[in-house]
Structure 1
Amino acid sequence: MKNLYYFMMLNIMNLLVLLIILLIGIAFLTLLERKILGYVQMRKGPNKVGVLGFIQPFSDAIKLLTKELFYIYKSNYNLFYMCPMFLFSLMLIMWLLFPYNTNIYFLNYSILLMFIFMTLGSYMLIIMSWSSNSIYSMMGAIRSVSQMLSYEVSFILIIFVLMFMSESYTLTDFVKYQVNLWFLLVFYPLFLIYFISIIVELNRSPMDLIEGESELVSGFNVEYFSSGFTLIFLGEYGMIIFFSYVSVILFTSLISGTDISVMILTIIFSLLIIFMRGLLPRLRYDELMYLCWKVILPLILVYIIMIVGLKFMIFYIKY
């Protein structure tokens, strides 16, 4: 019992340290994005607050959190203010799925739990849009129903191919299976489709049609301000880091927390997601749906048929 108590305390300390590192990482990811987009557009980006704009994220946080909170006319008050907290909490819960060295629990179905939490995040966007009592927010909700849920189909099928190869539902076995050969090398075309799917899942440009500033004035979060907007912002950028880390686990065998290569690959994936915003124009909505149902989905189904066929052929040849 004494050892169990020490393990529990170690696990709690690990989660607290992870939370602090994650929040600091989100703050500086926003600075990194603004710097990169600034240089992409031939300008400097934030460079006034502190040395080279180093303190800019903290000044932004203070500015947002000290803004006044007030009642939105005819909005569903309780849901309106609770949904950003639930969205932020979902992002933090997702980080519990990873196999850390200090964990006292082991999740056999971590991939399935990840799908559940991703779907719940979609519902949070819908409820936020409905409770705002705004036409722009409702348009964002209607788009989120078709966009996010459509691309979740292709995302789940991509992970199904990898699950079929590793024959497991847990992230740990994914890494063990790739010790000799990475999925990133074997399934490189599948990885490109996966990358497009996570950009849509994260509502990032050029697939940010749920937010669509040019036509929806920020979409589902148009009525949010102060701490509510801050929580939505933290949830969105936390998911960027989360999916970057998931990509490292799903397509490589690098998982050791002390291995610097994990951190480097996570940063590279995050940079790729940021660069998409500065390099590509926004798609039309019909083109986005066409890409999902007419291009990505048939390619993934072909991959599934091919992998299932190869696995059965190898099984019959071997036995």
Structure 2
Amino acid sequence: MFLMQTFILFMSLITVMFITLTERKFLGILNNRKAPNFLLFMSIFQSLNDFLKLISKKILKMNFIMKIYWVMMIFFGMTMFLLIMLIFPLNNSLMYLYISFYMFFLIYSFMAFFFLILSYSSNSVYSIMAMTRVLIQIISYEVGMIFLFMLPLFVMNEFNFFFYYINNNMLLFFSMMYMIMLVMIVLSEMNRTPFDFLESETELVSGFNVEYFSSLFSFIFLVEYGFFLFMMFMISFFLKLDMFMNLLMIMMFIWTRAFMPRYRYDKMLNLFWKDLVLMVMVFFL
């Protein structure tokens, strides 16, 4: 069992590496420009090369940062990512927890503290501003995400991923409206376009990670795309999509980054609290 869990964690990290390469290649095609094309065959190890380059750089610890929390939160985020990947319904022990679904939300809710302490420890005005916007966004859309994920579980009276997957027979609530709301909320939760307020480079330099560089930045990048991968798995799991459809779902989320503008922040909040929450509650009831 330990070997299976280790294999899951290793393959999760490898998959994240290839997702970043896929995004860069696909965006290059959509924007009619060259993507990474120098390293070996079709630059297949470009992401690995970038990671090795980053971890080989020297880490400069500025005097104004809170050094303990500044470094500690990186490992906290990596731990949350590895734990949440072990809950996904594969052949491992954590899958058989009776309340594995609640374990998912318990771990996922800690990500708000990850962004909070990560930004606060940087002791930077830009990081604090980005943190405020991201926390409001996470708290807002996490409510709708909980309701949408709990809807099929309440209908089936099952809160374990394994038994849900066995008994799920594509009930009628998986309508087009449900899928649209789920995609919108996941776009916001993962800070993808048009809800990418986490990294509004033109507004807040580089967002919450403006003081991070070298290997620490690479780990933040890994956590961000790791949770993006997990949310893609969750959508495919709830809708019982095969591997090909899961790949198409990932490509669709990447595609939105190529043509959709960033939404205005106040309109994003109005969209959720006045429209999306109402639709989710009607669906839930």
TM-score of the aligned structures, taking structure 2 as reference length: 0.95
Where do 5+ consecutive residues of structure 2 fail to align? Answer: none
Counterparts of residues 34-113 of structure 1 (less than 5 Å): 34-103=24-93, 106-113=96-103
Conservation of the 8 A alpha-carbon contact between 2:232 and 2:250: yes
Q: Deviations over 1:10-44 (max 9, x none)?
A: x1111121122111111111110001111111112
Deviation at 1:208, TM superposition (A): 1.1
Q: Distance in 2 between matches of 1:102 and 1:178?
A: 20
What residue is the counterpart of 2:220 in the other structure? 232
Deviation at 1:97, TM superposition (A): 1.0
Conservation of the 8 A alpha-carbon contact between 1:37 and 1:278: yes
What residue is the counterpart of 1:177 in the other structure? 167
TM-score of the aligned structures, taking structure 1 as reference length: 0.85
2:282 to 275, 280, 302: 302
Conservation of the 8 A alpha-carbon contact between 1:240 and 1:270: no
Where do 5+ consecutive residues of structure 1 fail to align? Answer: 1-10, 255-260, 306-319
Change (3 A) 1:175 1:182: farther
1:187 matched to 2:175? The reply is yes
Amino acid at match of 2:43: G
1:280 matched to 2:270? The reply is no
Counterparts of residues 1-319 of structure 1 (less than 5 Å): 11-103=1-93, 106-179=96-169, 181-182=170-171, 186-252=174-240, 261=242, 263-305=243-285
Please report the RMSD computed on the Cα atoms of aligned residues, expressed in angstroms: 1.6
Say which structure, 1 or 2, has more relative contact order (CA 8 Å, 6+ apart).
Answer: 2
Deviation at 1:62, TM superposition (A): 1.3
Change (3 A) 1:144 1:102: closer
SS in structure 1 opposite 2:98?
coil
Deviation at 1:227, TM superposition (A): 1.4
Q: Distance in 2 between matches of 1:90 and 1:244?
A: 17
Deviation at 1:152, TM superposition (A): 0.2
Conservation of the 8 A alpha-carbon contact between 2:187 and 2:253: yes
Amino acid at match of 1:210: L
Amino acid at match of 2:180: L
